[in-house]
Chain A
Amino acid sequence: MGPKKIDKFACCNALKTVALKQAIAGMGFEALLLGIRRDEHGVRAKERYFSPRAQDFTWNVGAQPPELWDLYATVDEAAHDRIHPLLHMTELDVWRYVRREGIPVNPLYLAKDGKRFRSIGCAPCCAPIPSTATTVDEIIAELEASREPERAGRAQDKENAFTMQKLRSLGYM
């Protein structure tokens, strides 16, 4: 296992999706509350607040149930549901919310030796970005001026076209 031994797609699928499947089956979960957001990635931008998943985890992006206003589809025959309450928040919204509510943050998000993580996943495939932001206020100021996408440091998004779509259609978050 690990991206040096197998390709990134296979590694991501095994470490995240397959592991998640085992956890859901083992714990008997009916729903997962997830913090994914539309502005993170063009494929996540197509999500719904309530997203039903089949037994094999597949996400049929082209045939999602209608979701009108805030009348969400809360009753279904899906194997499990993914619930995405933060879907409409942007990266800046999250940091402004963290500041307003005084929420503790993982220190990896704060700059150390001129670098910080802007998006955190598996260690081998996440790279820090150059940054001097050591406080939440400085992160907000940095993002307000940045033109780099949030997940620029995430290798699986870039490996080849549609990797994120393939991962998500199999159940990746």
Chain B
Amino acid sequence: MSKITPENQSIVVRFAGDSGDGVQLLGGQFAESTALAGADFSTFPDFPAEIRAPVGTTFGVSAFQINLGARRISTAGDQPDVLVALNPAALKVNLPTLPKGAVIILNTDAFTDRNFSKANIAADPRQTGELDDYQVIEIAISTQTLEAVKPHGLSKSDAEQCKNFWSLGAVLWMFGRDREPIINWATKKFSRKPAEILVGNVAALNAGHAYAETAELSAEIPQFVIGEAPMEAGEYRSITGAEALSLGLAAAGELAGREVMFCGYPITPASSILHHLSRMGDLGVSTFQAEDEIAACCAAIGASYGGAIGVTSSSGPGIALKTEAIGLGMAAELPLVIVNSQRGGPSTGLPTKTEQSDLYQSVYGRNADAPLPVVAAAGPGDCFDAAIEATRVALRHMTPVFLLTDGYIANAAGPWELPNMDDYEPILTNAVNGDAANGDDPTALKKTIWNRDPSSLGRPWVAPGASGLAHRIGGLEKDIETGDISYDAANHQAMSELRARKVAAVADFIPDQEVEQGNSKGPLAVVGWGSTHGAIWRAVQMARDEGLDVAQIHLRWLSPLPKNLGRLLSDYDRVLLPEMNMGQCATLLRDKLGLNVVQLNKVSGQPFKITEILNAIRENYPGAKQAAE
């Protein structure tokens, strides 16, 4: 078979198998190889909630999808063009997502009656005709792997574990990739294991590659050509959202010259941030695993009170527990960054699946009038800048700030152009004005503590230990000038207004909303926020290629909204808003701007497909038949 150059310069590959099959490693290494080949890519690990679900079951299927291309790639792809299925369950789960003509590589060794029964498959799908529309390549991967590693003295179970490397070898050949970087990586990874583990895996990798190249069947194995993607000159690395966010927090600490004190409690899918940061001690980061979500938030606030940058992190259920403490942080006018890696809900919901359904919780979800700034990251690499911005606002305005990401961004990876740290302004903190410390007048001292900056309304950050500035803070309503406990009616009114004005004031410091693609007025704008960015970007690009005058506007700040947003959106006849919830940002825009949008809501635990958004653009484009109904 000759080499295939895909029509739209990109291809989607999905690896699927049991959760113990090493599918994530296989996918991750293929992504690394893709990066080194200069193509653009986006990955989507899709794993079950169970640590090790029963072998061979459909709910134990772990998958890794990658979209790679010689053009800009913005999502992990709608439909796999190539599926590598290591067992029947993986085929069963993924078959419905495949387009006709897709390549399916099957590990025939796993196609046994026993495995069919485990996956509730009535008859061998290879015999029923259900695979007729696909290019099926059957390989006895397990047998081939065992054969390849036989000379190296591995136990049978260790030998079978090498089948992901064998598969990787075959896929590397399909894409004309070097094996050397993978072997270098494996050498490091297995350096502490018995020597035969490395030798066996490398042998499997080489065998898979050789098999694809030379075996009689190889005529059937297609080879794909994906060239280099045009990217701006610079240094790149592959990064997940969780890594970028962690590095962003460390960068914020560096820019502010303060220690970052990260206080967390394990929860899916937020835990990886705790794991990354616990290895960044040399960057001025300390991590504390608290006894529960509440304690994690309280300890972070305690750290902020003590002069460090307090950060806490969780997912929706954990954020719910932190809510009371967040209110205190706001009332006491202390900085705090609250990272929410959103997942499917409500309640325990879908821990490993993605959703954007904690927007209400972030913007509105506290007792009393308790407004807070809310910022959302648009993709893995963007988490870095979003973390810096969230910290900057928290310190400038002396307030807790919500930083929203989600399960998709946290685990997805793509190439990221390394930022130049010199391009970032230092993060300034508010110091005490005047020489209050020297006075004997307690009222004058207290007024200094609460002397807020007129533009940001942030108060000075005075940590215990500061000489001559001892004072008391708390969650009881306080006098607007002295900070003393106050039950005065007019004062509470004034404080409530001050808290609202403070969040509104953030808008004076953030950039005006820009239009990312298209014109600044016209028939249709697609507005999004958070991780839908990539799918919207590609859908709008394709719609524009079709000649539709569509614009893309992506929100970073959800609270407050950019000052010009209302005017900007009023210049479009219609606004389409795709989001992975039942319409929370739509509510927000109706609330804050009095704007009614066309909602496109998806709450399936899976990210948007480009075609879903593209179809919605076509349907809602003014003049389209469906839209007229």
Q: Do A and B originate from a single complex?
A: no
**A contact residues vs B (CB 8 Å cutoff):** none
